[in-house]
Amino acid sequence: MYAQMIKSTGEGVKSLDEMEPQERAFQERINAGGKIEPKDWMPDGYRKNLIRQIGQHAHSEIVGQLPEGNWITRAPTLERKAILLAKVQDEAGHGLYLYCAAETLGVTRDQLTRDLLSGKMKYSSIFNYPTLTWADMGAVGWLVDGAAIMNQVPLQRTSYGPYARAMVRICKEESFHQRQGYDIMMKMAKGTKAQKKMAQDALNRFWGPALMMFGPSDENSVHSAQSMAWKIKMNSNDELRQKFVDECVPQAEYLGLTVPDPDLKWNEERGHYDFTQPDWDEFFDVLRGNGPCNKERLAARNKAWDDGAWVRDGLMAHAAKKRAAKLAAE
């Protein structure tokens, strides 16, 4: 998802009987649907995992601005441009809500930024793919934001209070993102032959990477089991991916576009679509830094941070000067 491949620090899930009283009380509270708040006691592993997960999620929102920011100046109409600008601004906001949530766990904003810029912390693999045409804005909103919603809606019930509250805000805004994407796709798919071809091409390129967003199958993963016991992961990757496919196929049909999977078929018995797994070798390669845009994305973030240094410093100096003048006047 926006946070892929989070390895928990726990060694498998302990039973309540194996836990010390403090940890047992903590787990029982989570089991009962209670929320954990910043000042409450929590196991180290829970804290570390959440910092990684929320941090990666925040980084994804921030880096996720780049592929779409690429088209702001070239949007086909002024209205489309204003809408895209608002959408990209929302992504910045989502990043900020999430950084705030991560900071309540004791990590600083600058530390998170440093870890993103140095490549130590990851962001979602999806943002390492290029956006080549205007139709990609449609595919990104429809599929990428659509996949994000699949994951984020259940996370509104996650056990960590600040994370859950950030998710509530994000989900409220995310539905606009998906619909604006689908709106672009409708326009293109019902447009000229060339426009429809662009829409189909965008779907072809983003389908696989969108399926990868949910991460590899985690059926037998001890890490996932621990995260699920802690309720910082609410569904298995396969479960969410299936739900996503089931929802997208009729939407693609409405557009008159073809999902690029020759083996895609409704399975009456399961009540779900059968579909082909994405190319997992490609996924791991992108995570290792070898996707089409990894270098470009990190370079853009580093440049923004470096070029903005004088603004950050200048505003701090100005604030200090004003404080001093106010003190002198008292």
Residue closer to another protein (CB basis): 82 or 315:
315
How near is the Cβ of 86 to another protein at its closest, in Å?
Answer: 8
- The rounded radius of gyration (Å) of the Cα atoms in the chain is 22
Is the Cα torsion angle 31, 35, 38, 41 positive or negative in sign?
negative
Q: Residue 150: how many CA atoms within 13 Å on its side-chain side?
A: 28
Which of 168/186 has CB closer to another protein?
A: 168
Amino acid in the structure at residue 42: M
What is the nearest approach in angstroms of another protein to the Cβ of residue 83? 13
CB closer to another protein, 12 vs 308: 308
- Measured in degrees and rounded to the nearest 5, phi and psi for residue 36 equal -100, 130
Contact yes or no for 275/262 (Cβ under 8 A): no
Q: Provide, rounded to whole angstroms, the least separation between the CB of residue 59 and another protein.
A: 15
Give the angle subtended at the CA of 110 by the CAs of 104 and 114, to the nearest 5°.
125
For 64-75, the DSSP string reads THHHHHTTGGG-
Ordered DSSP codes for 175-227: HHHHHHHHHHHHHHHTS-HHHHHHHHHHHHHHHHHHHHTT-S--TT-HHHHHH
Supply the minimum distance, in Å, between the C-beta of residue 243 and another protein: 27
Q: How far is the CB of 175 from another protein (least distance, A)?
A: 12
CA distance 17 to 206: 46
For residue 304, which phi and psi values (nearest 5 degrees)? Answer: -60, -40
Residues lying near another protein in the complex (CB under 8 A): 37, 39-41, 86, 89-90, 93, 96-97, 100, 103, 108-110, 113-114, 117-118, 165-166, 169, 173, 302, 305-306, 309, 312-313, 315-316, 318-319, 322-323
CB of 57 vs another protein, minimal distance in Å: 15
Burial of residue 220, with CB atoms counted within 10 A of its CB: 0-12 exposed, 13-18 middle, 19 or more buried: exposed
Cβ distance to another protein smaller for residue 7 or 321: 321
As a whole number of angstroms, the distance between CA 269 and CA 166 comes to 38
In angstroms, what is the minimal distance from the CB of 238 to another protein? 33
Q: What is the CB neighbour count within 10 angstroms for residue 94?
A: 27
Which residue, 7 or 114, has its beta carbon nearer to another protein? 114
Smallest gap from Cβ 328 to another protein, in A, equals 16
- Of 156 and 302, nearer to another protein (C-beta) is 302
Bridge partners for 295 per DSSP? none
Strand, coil or helix: what is 62? helix
Of residues 173 and 282, the one with the C-beta less far from another protein: 173
Residue 76 or residue 119: which is nearer to another protein going by CB? 119
